[in-house]
Structure formats: structure tokens, C-alpha cells
Amino acid sequence: MTDFLSTGTLPDEYRDLALTVRDFAQKVVAPVSAKHDAEHSFPYEVVAGMAEMGLFGLPFPEEYGGMGGDYFALCLALEELGKVDQSVAITLEAGVSLGAMPVYRFGNEKQKLEWLPQLASGRALGAFGLTEPGAGSDAGGTRTTAVLDGGEWLINGSKQFITNSGTDITRLVTVTAVTGVSNGKKEISTILVPADTPGFVAEPAYNKVGWNASDTHPLSFTDVRVPEENLLGERGRGYANFLRILDEGRIAIAALSVGAAQGCVDESVRYAREREAFGQAIVRNQAIAFKIARMEARAHAARTAYYDAAALMLSGKPFKKQASIAKLVASEAAMDNARDATQIFGGYGFMNEYAVARHYRDSKILEIGEGTTEVQLLLIGRELGL
């Protein structure tokens, strides 16, 4: 198997970053992944290590406490982390693209100076409260309300499936809420809610199929009051703004998915060389070799797709279609590779202590979160004029 980074196609600074994160993933993340997965425990020590490396600040300017990098640098880090532990990777992805990025993209200077240094440092996590029981893919079905009352927003409602919303270091949740009605349509805005605000509760964590070391909670808001100045961006533009955040986030999820797909390849190559059956290593079996070759092809094609989408985004060109394509093919590659890797491992692939078993459980959500497969097909079709 050819190491993609060794081909020299990446500029040195990107390649060096990827190799540094790869080393961290192998030496720090991988040894504790099975433990945190089994215990459903949040890996605070791993997050602290990522914070020390500056990973949470990768795409933000130094003036806000960031590393002065870009979104592609974040994607490279997510790919390397995704190879060994999707829970750790999604903690970083959500902390940056959903927690901090809305403040960076749409916040005023006061909001940026107050929140970004905390979030970019990794010492604090932010979350984005969009999904509700009746408003997932149909985000326009939002029922959470925010009413101005005496210079404060009075917020009532609930959210579900919110990542990074209940950790000991969660400091901020940005909430979409109905703030009025305009031309017969709901006016949806986004509001910053500090995690210690009275009336805001992160309910007990979910018992999930995968991503067991990732923090995910339903949230409730009961007469939550925050200052009127906590409005993030223009009133009534909350839904539209978040669609931009989702477009970017799909590239990041694609990168994470590529990491998962490549991790399955790497584990399968290693196992097939070591495992013997009928007097020879199973890699000598052409059926096994072909299966792994197809897995590698999927990972490579998906990587090319997210590289393309990221390049368009960073150049300021339209990238919505390419982001959806990348998210679609990469999430399917992760799921297909996890299935094939589990088959190659046989009975061992069904044991949770093996990385491929965790990838098998973890990868399904990649076809659902930040826009389901069906939503991506819908978006791609729209971009084609269908």
C-alpha cells in the first residue's frame, strides 16, 4: 500500500502537520481508544493533548487565539485522527466547525474576542443546537422559541443529538430558535447561550451504537434568559447562516470518513499479512487481496473528492455540490470499508477491542450526521438543476 502523504503532492507545511497528528494518533489516541469506547467515557486527557497541539485553533487567525491555518489543515488532522478513533475525531470536528466556526463566521468583534480564544485553545468546547425531535433534516421545522423580553431573549424548547454539549469543559451552545414570523414563514435566528445559564440543562447522555467516547446529549431550555446582544449574526438569518456552516462541515466530515476508510485498509493489510489459514497468510488469497484493493480505491477516491471541495472553498469559489459529493462518497466508503474489514477479520472483527469492530459501529452515523445520504443526493440534484 502506498502512503498518500509520501507522494509529495501536499505542501510541506500540510504534510508535516498530517504526520505530526498521525504520530499523536498512534501513540496517544490508539492505546486508550478501546478503553474509552467500552466505558463510554469522554477522553479528557486526549482532548487536552489536542488542545496543547493547537488543533482546535487550526483554522482561526492568531488574533483570536488560533494557529493561523485554514480549513484544509483541520481536515488533514481529522483524517489522521479518524483512522484510529472516530469519537476523538468528531470531538475535534464538532468543537471547531460547529462550536467555534459560527462565532468566527457570523459573530461581531465583541463576541469573537470573548469566545474564540477560549474555543480555539481547546480548553473550552462549544456546541451547536440545531436538531430537534421534529426538525432534523427539516431544520425549518424548528419549534424552540426565543422572545425578546426586557432586553433579554427568553428561550424555551429542546434539542437532540447535540455533540460536545455536556462535558466538563463545555462553555457555550449556539441555539437556533424561532424569533418571529415574516411573510408567513418562521424567522429563525441563532443565539449564544453560555452553558452555565439557569434553565439550560444537558439531559443524560444517549446510549449510542457507536461514537461511544463522544459526548452527545439532548438539551432542554426552560425560561432561559440571555442578553439581547447574544444574538449571533443578523436576526432571521440563523437558518441560512447555518446552511453555510453545514456546507463547510460536510468537507470536514468527509475528511473524517476518509480517515475511517483508510484506517480499515491499514488494519486489514496488517491483519491479512499476519493471519494464516491453510498453511499461508490470507493475503495470498486473491479474494482477500482484491477486497483490500477495492477498499484502498474507495479511500483514495473519497480523499480526492474532499481535497477538491476544500480547494474550491479556500479559493472562494462555489463548493456546495463538491462538498455534498465528498460527504456522500466518503461516508459510504467508510461504511463499505468497515463492512469489508470486519469480514476479513472474521470472528475477531466482531470483537469490540479490535479497531475494525469500532469502525463498523461508528461509521454508520457518518451517513446520517451533518446531512443524510438522501439530503446529499437532493443537494447534488438541485445543483444539477433537477
Compute φ and ψ for 67, nearest 5 degrees: -100, -5
pLDDT of residue 35: 96
Contact 164, 94 (CB under 8 A): yes
Domain extent, residue 34, equals 4-125
Same domain flag for 83 and 159: no
Whether the full predicted model's pTM is greater than 0.85, yes or no, is: yes
The CATH number of whichever domain residue 202 belongs to comes to 2.40.110.10
Q: What are residue 183's DSSP bridge partners?
A: none
Same domain flag for 244 and 327: yes
Alpha helices per DSSP H over 315-372 = 320-345, 355-362
371: left (phi over 0), alpha (psi -120 to 50) or beta: left
Last residue of a domain, one of 201, 236, 271: 236
Same domain flag for 196 and 101: no
Same domain flag for 111 and 141: no
pLDDT of residue 2: 36
Same domain flag for 249 and 334: yes
Same domain flag for 163 and 108: no
Last residue of a domain, one of 67, 93, 125: 125
The CATH number of whichever domain residue 84 belongs to comes to 1.10.540.10
Report the candidate in 162, 171, 217 with the shortest Cα–Cα distance to residue 194.
Answer: 171
Same domain flag for 220 and 273: no
Last residue of a domain, one of 104, 125, 146: 125
Q: Is 370 a catalytic residue?
A: yes
Number of compact structural domains in the chain: 3
Of 79, 248, 267, 370, the active-site residue reads 370
Can you give the pLDDT of all 386 residues of the chain as single tens digits? 334 444 447 899 999 999 999 999 999 999 999 999 999 999 999 999 999 999 999 999 999 999 999 999 999 999 999 999 999 999 999 999 999 999 999 999 999 999 999 999 999 999 999 999 887 767 668 899 999 999 999 999 999 999 999 999 999 999 999 999 888 888 999 999 999 999 999 999 999 999 999 999 999 999 999 999 999 999 999 888 888 899 999 999 999 999 999 999 999 999 999 998 889 988 989 999 999 999 999 999 999 999 999 999 999 999 999 999 999 999 999 999 999 999 999 999 999 989 999 999 999 999 999 889 999 999 999 999 99
Residue type, 310: A
